[in-house]
Structure 1
Amino acid sequence: MMDPGALYTVEQDVWESLTGTRPVLVHLLEGYVDAGQVARQLSEHLLESLDAELLATFDHDQLHDYRSRRPQMVFDTNTWTSLTDYRLALHKVTDASGRPFLLLSGPEPDTQWNRACAALLQIADGLDVSQLVTAQGVPMGVPHTRPVLVTGHATDPELVTDNPVWIDRVVVPGSFASMLEYRSGQAGRLACGFVAHVPHYLAPGTYAPGALAVLERIRAATGLDLPPGELATLALQTLSQLEGEVDSDGELGPLVQALEQQYDEVQSTGRPSVPSADEIGAAVEQFLAQQEGDDPEGSRGTHQ
């Protein structure tokens, strides 16, 4: 393996300001299954609502497959006017009570996963990170009219005791965030994550209630003071807009009613009809196909 330390560049003054703080490292990456764009919404909310300073920048040309995920460019009349470039960056963010933490955001690496994991664990060792935390959304057969279910996971299974029993044991394609959590556990570091169950009919768009639900779980797990702010407002607006859509859509209304019945039965009996690995795999494949074929901002599931 090439030197992991050569993969990133540190802002030394920001690094030194973190000495002795034992910060939490929150990693919220884009590019894998993230129904409702939960991770993206959460990272944007944290960077926009709290004070943030750039701590480290990764050499993304080493990690990104540009022919797989091409940057968007704008051509106007006779010239290129803009380029939406990719950046994987680690910020020092200060919560509402003045406590610093780290936030890794940007696209999921396409290559060199082991080296990138080693680089992040090198940073975690250097700053004595107290724990690593992540979040995402997955498409599930749940209604938006009920509280968002959240599945937790951790390198110490005893820390996760209150999961909704909707999924048992399943084999799924790995993500970089999952690998980082696994490698953290191997290195003896505490790491955990939270997965919001996003209604499958809203998965391609932005679903603020899902992002709000995992924000609350991160607050509880880390003790960080992370005000919901605009995210809570967006969640309320989303649910209000959906109420009107259910009333006017002849197909959506019956679907939501059927999901409500299933949800209520599971909550009351505690004996769900657990989906099989094939069913979960099919749902993920369908979601990925929608992501590739549709503009998320134009889908029914986009509510901002």
Structure 2
Amino acid sequence: MAVELEWLVDQPAQYNPVMVVALEGMFDAAEAATTAVRMMKESAPTVDPLARIDPEAFFNFQDHRPEVSLDSSGNRVITWPITRVDAVDRAGAKHPLVVVDGVEPDLRWRTFAGYLVEVATRCQAGLVVTLGAMVGLAPHTRPLGVVGSSTNAELAQMFGLGRPTYEGPTGLVGALHDALDQARIPVISLRVSVPHYVPGPPNPEATRSLLKRFELITGIITDHETLDEPAAEWRERVDTAVAGDDDIRNYVAQLEQQVDEAEDLLPTGDDLAAQFEAFLRDPWK
């Protein structure tokens, strides 16, 4: 019986949902991923809490300190880095959506990943999607690219994704993907590249790119268009900062050339929608 994983409902009402996961930490540059999932919750007409993971056994609170604030009555309130699981009702969505967001834990990664596998299993998730953001060689003047991957060859081919090739130190997301693979729960990673010369939050362009790719694959409306204006304003601010430094301006031009020469072979939205519906009817056949 899970001790730290607390269910707030007797039985989740969702059937065959898409479960999306984003955690603050190394895999969340510019807070682009957690901002994306929180936007999906904030703009939804209905959000129902399903479960939460108590932080006590997973965090070094000297590194992830809780925050104290005053409520409307002047009472002190301490906010802990709790991981939340919510059922999100997106208008017009063909499939239910379960959102997991919180902070990457410091300790007991295998146990924590096991709890998220338990959440996916109990919710009967047809697909898990992890959202992430990493600093990289991306120019701010171009749409920020999203790399999608899956360890399952059939799933990768179906959605036009790559196969993971990274070797080296990993984070909680890497442990989670391994645990989901072992549990035979389909999982996809979507990660956006954030310009390393402007790594700080907010980055509406990076968040928009993640939401747009997530919507393309799942068909779940994310309202990514609401970030068009903030993304344009962000790009203008960076343009102004870059214009005053010849070295950085020349470096950005080199990055632009690399991106422009790369091929973008993403499947069309209609193709992905048809394949996604077929996959959720018969996952891991």
Q: TM-score, normalised by structure 2?
A: 0.80
Gaps of 5+ in 2: 265-285
**Aligned match of 1:6:** 3
User: Which one of the candidate residues 28, 49, 71 is aligned to 1:34?
Assistant: 28
* Identity over aligned pairs, percent: 25
Does structure 2 conserve the Cα–Cα contact (< 8 Å) formed by 1:60 and 1:87? yes
Aligned residue pair count? 257
Query: How many angstroms does 1:81 deviate by?
Result: 5.7
Do the aligned residues in 2 keep the contact of 1:96 with 1:227 (CA within 8 Å)?
A: no
Instruction: Provide the rounded CA distance (Å) in 2 between the counterparts of 1:219 and 1:121.
Output: 23
Shift of 1:84: 4.3
Residue 83 (structure 1) shift: 4.1
2:53 to 49, 53, 58: 58
- Counterpart amino acid of 2:21? H
Of the three residues 257, 261, 267, the one matched with 1:261 is: 257
Q: Are residues 1:195 and 2:218 paired?
A: no
> Equivalents in 1 of 2:145, 2:87: separation in Å?
30
Give 1:117's aligned residue. Answer: 113
2:232 and 2:91 mapped to 1: Cα distance? 22
How large is the RMSD of aligned CA atoms in angstroms?
Answer: 2.7
Quick check: 1:73–1:80 contact (8 Å CA) kept in 2?
no
Is the partner of 1:132 in helix, strand or coil? strand
Deviation at 1:7, TM superposition (A): 2.1
Residue 71 in structure 1 maps to residue 66 in structure 2: yes
Pair 1:224 & 2:232 matched = no
1:85 correspondence with 2:80: yes
Residue 168 to residue 176, structure 1, CA distance change in 2 (3 Å)? closer
**Which structure has more helix as a fraction of its residues?**
1
1:132–1:181 Cα contact (<8 Å) kept: no
- TM-score under structure 1 length normalisation: 0.75
2:90 maps to what in 1?
A: 95
Measure the CA separation in 1 of the matches of 2:154 and 2:144. Answer: 23
**Aligned-partner Cα distance in 2 for 1:231–1:160:** 28
The 3-state SS of whatever aligns with 1:202 is coil
2:235 aligned with 1:244, yes or no? no
What corresponds to 1:289 in structure 2? none
SS of aligned partner of 1:61: coil
Which amino acid counterpart does residue 56 of structure 1 have in structure 2? A
Counterpart pick for 2:128 among 128, 132, 153: 132
- Cα deviation digits, residues 212-244 of structure 1 (max 9, x gap): 111122112222122215333322221232233
Q: For the structure 1 residues 238 and 34, does the alpha-carbon distance in structure 2 shift closer, same or farther, using more than 3 Å as the test?
A: same
Report the AA paired with residue 208 of structure 1: P
* Structure 1: 5+ residue stretches without partners: 269-304
Secondary structure of the structure 2 residue equivalent to 1:62: coil
Report the CA distance between 1:168 and its aligned residue.
8.4
Which residue of the partner structure matches residue 170 of structure 1?
A: 166
Q: Which amino acid aligns with 2:253?
A: Q
